[in-house]
Amino acid sequence: MKITDIEVIPANRFLYVKVVTDEGITGIGESGAWGFLDASAEVVNSFKTYLVGKDPLQIEHHWQYMYRCFHFRGAAIMGAISAIDIALWDIAGKWFNVPTYVLLGGKVRDKVRTYYHVIGDTTEELVNSCLKAKELGFTAVGHLSPFLDESREKPYFVPYAKMLNEAVDRVRQIREAVGDDVDLCLELHRRMKPGEAIAFAHAVEKYHPFFLEDPITPDNFDSMALIADKTNVPIATGERIHTIQEFEMLLSRNAMAYARTSVCLCGGITGTKKIAAIAEAHGVPIVPHNPLSPVSTAACLQIAASVENLVIQELPDHETVSATERFTSTDILKENFRQSDLVTWVPKAVEGFIDIPDRVGIGTDLVEGIQTLYPYQRREINTRLHLDGSVVDQ
């Protein structure tokens, strides 16, 4: 079996890759470089010149070749490697007529616990969103911002004491509304400084959040380690980094209690398995990052099925636009699009769990003609500014 073509398929606000073989078997993958998909597409085209004519089952060798060929790293490159890698694993599963996870060592669980995305630009909306998740049977909610999901068009300014107290009180209100039956995965979106994050963690500790995700920007591993050392609330981070070495540096500093692996950014299924093994050696579970389309979810499920140290899986609402779209864009009619229309199969959660599917490969394929049905749109640059004109992390 040989690779005969690699197709780049941009659709809506997503970037897919289809690997075609001379045996008629194809595989699909998705790039997680969601802000820079056009650049990631060009990286795929570069790798195509190497991959055409090769055996698609030499997945580890191809991963090493792509990762090391030009000596440079970055999200666009790693997104391309991830998409190709997922597609190759999809082909492998189809070639052997088994789910991809069988080739990764087989199932270690029968179903996967998931957490549901909640959203609200007012406290009332956020509380109601959490109550809706509970009614739907979820036992955990995530993408939960104690600072609300305000528009990036709105200039930001809140005095420190008010910012801290209002955020903590929102967590209180949510905890009182859902009780102890729902775990709260607090998403801080990198918007705090180390001292602020430590103070916030101490203030919300009594409400027992599952974890605090990305309290600060991911650039300084020592700062993340400082926060983890000064609080009893578990820290989850990793979604914006994409090499096994970066994860090892965070783990060796005890800077994360949960590793947020982005399967479509950190090297695909191959890269995620490597990171999960390193995390396992440190006694750290993984919480796969998944704000993308059902293709990403299908790939995540292969990891969830075969990795022992998974604790919970992020699950966005695939009956609407992508999570990143909901929180950053202003120029689309959100009610007119469903991610589920892009693919042939979407996993469903029942009582907060997804049964491990027995579908071959990663379990889903793109519908025919999605580029025409759902034309690609470049994501807008839309970063929030402070009232004083400076850039705000959100």
The full set of domains in the chain, from first to last, is 3-99 (3.30.390.10), 103-362 (3.20.20.120)
pLDDT of residue 87: 99
Q: What integer pLDDT is reported at residue 242 of this predicted model? A: 93
Annotated catalytic residue 289:
yes
Phi/psi region, residue 72 (left: phi>0; alpha: psi -120 to 50; beta: rest), is beta
pLDDT value, residue 329: 62
d(CA 214, CA 212): 7
Catalytic site includes residue 189: yes
- pLDDT the model gives residue 222: 98
Whole-angstrom distance, CA of residue 204 vs CA of residue 171? 7
Given a contact cutoff of 8 angstroms between Cβ atoms, the answer to whether 86 and 363 are in contact is no
Calpha distance 264→228 (Å, rounded): 26
Residue 150's nearest CA partner among 125, 130, 171 is 125
What are 160-169's contacts with CB under 8 Å, separation 24+?
Answer: 160/196, 164/196, 164/199, 164/200, 164/203, 167/200, 167/204, 168/200, 168/203, 168/204
* pLDDT score for 166: 98
Please tell me the predicted confidence (pLDDT) of residue 335.
57
> pLDDT tens digits for the chain (394 residues)?
999 999 999 999 999 999 999 999 999 999 999 889 999 999 999 999 999 999 999 999 999 999 999 888 899 999 999 999 999 999 999 999 999 999 999 999 999 999 999 999 999 999 999 999 999 999 999 999 999 999 889 999 999 999 999 999 999 999 999 999 999 999 999 999 999 999 999 999 999 999 999 999 999 999 999 999 999 999 999 999 999 999 999 999 999 999 999 999 999 999 999 999 999 999 999 999 999 999 999 999 999 999 999 999 999 999 987 766 666 665 555 557 889 999 999 999 999 999 999 999 999 999 999 999 999 988 888 899 999 999 999 8
Q: Sort 206 into a burial class: Cβ within 10 Å, 0-12 / 13-18 / 19+.
A: exposed
- The predicted pLDDT at position 314 comes to 98
Catalytic residue among 189, 242, 318, 386: 189
Contact 66, 49 (CB under 8 A): no
- CA–CA dist 212, 257 (Å, integer): 10
Angle (CA) 95-308-234 rounded to 5° is 135
pLDDT of residue 232: 97
Structure tokens at 361: 């490969």
- Catalytic hit among 117, 143, 289, 318: 289
Token couple for 177: 């509304």
Q: What is the structure's pLDDT at 72? A: 86
Phi and psi angles of residue 173, each rounded to the nearest 5 degrees, phi first: -60, -40
What pLDDT is stored for residue 332 in this prediction?
54
The closest alpha carbon to 239, from 130, 324, 113, 317, belongs to: 324
Q: Residue 321: what pLDDT?
A: 78
Would you state the pLDDT for residue 24?
97
Instruction: Tell me if the pTM is above 0.85.
Output: yes
Q: Which residue has the tokens 């801080």?
A: 188
- CB count within 10 Å of CB 53 equals 10
Q: Do the strands 183-187 and 211-213 form a parallel or antiparallel pair, or are they unpaired? A: parallel
